[in-house]
Amino acid sequence: MKLRILGASGAEFPGKNPPGFLLDDSVLLDAGTIGAVLNEKEQYAIRHILLTHAHLDHIRSIPSLADNIILKNKDHSVLVQGIEPVLAALKDNLLNDVVWPDFTRIPSEEDAVLRLAPIAVGKPFAVNSYSVTAYTVNHSVPAVGFVVEDSEGRRLLYTGDTGPTDDIWKATEKPIHAAIIEVSMPDSMEEMAIMTGHLTARLLGAEIKKMKNVPEKIYITHPKPQYIDTIMDEIAGLGLDHVMLLEGGEVLEI
């Protein structure tokens, strides 16, 4: 699996884009960043979007992608998948013909640019040649993380946004080759992190203890850039091997 990091930041600053992870050029995990880094041809290659939750920093690039598509090709469509409350939030609050046109009905309901398809937690579903399973995580809104397994058995885990959680770690009963885990705040903000459904380095350490098999590689996403040095020092203090900070622009081979 080739994973291109479009953005992996917990806030927006120049060069720091919200989460978007592009798998083998065509499957996007979260849609916080698309057009800020992908050219037109690359945007057209996206055929699937998997959403962890409906917070704006994870969905905000979908409207612009739809607009770019309709301008050139009315026959093109992208399948957007997420749990029911996430799709409902997307449709009610973003693609609602007020904030943005409802691209789930443009150019027509049958041939819409965006097709929304609900997924069930814990039930594997196929996306291209991958098998994907959603697991509940603990955030301030309904949210899941994903485990993506390719045809060779390579497995990628992505938490999305989460505070201390349990369900998704069931997936570590089998080996995980790469895990993208959020750490948003420094240890000094633990109370706020727990209240808002995020992790700190110390909380990450506690989550790792819950795992049956520690992933081969752990990549950190969603840090607040204002605290990045402190967060990375605190993660280094955990003394774990193979933990790295993700940066937009990187390409990982998993």
Q: Which two tokens stand for residue 189?
A: 């903000």
Q: How far apart are CA 163 and CA 183, in angstroms?
A: 9
**Residue among 183, 176, 218 nearest 202 (CA):** 183
Q: Report the 10 Å Cβ neighbour count for 183.
A: 28
CA-to-CA separations, 229 to 85, 183, 201, 207, in angstroms, rounded? 35, 12, 12, 21
55 binds Zn ion (CB under 5 A): yes
Nearer to Zn ion, 48 or 55 (CB): 55
Q: Are 185 and 192 in contact (CB under 8 A)?
A: yes
182 binds Zn ion (CB under 5 A): no
CB of 183 to Zn ion, least distance (A): 12
198 binds Zn ion (CB under 5 A): no
CB of 54 to Zn ion, least distance (A): 8
CB of 137 to Zn ion, least distance (A): 10
Q: Report the 10 Å Cβ neighbour count for 60.
A: 17
Nearer to Zn ion, 57 or 207 (CB): 57
Q: Report the 10 Å Cβ neighbour count for 126.
A: 8
Among 57, 149, 187, 207, binds Zn ion (CB under 5 A): 57
Query: Which of the ranges 36-44, 53-61, 67-75, 208-216 carries the binding residues for Zn ion, by CB under 5 A?
Result: 53-61
**Per-position x/- string for 151-170, each x denoting binding to Zn ion as judged by CB under 5 A, each - no binding:** ----------x---------
Nearer to Zn ion, 57 or 234 (CB): 57
Site of interaction with Zn ion (CB under 5 A):
55, 57, 161
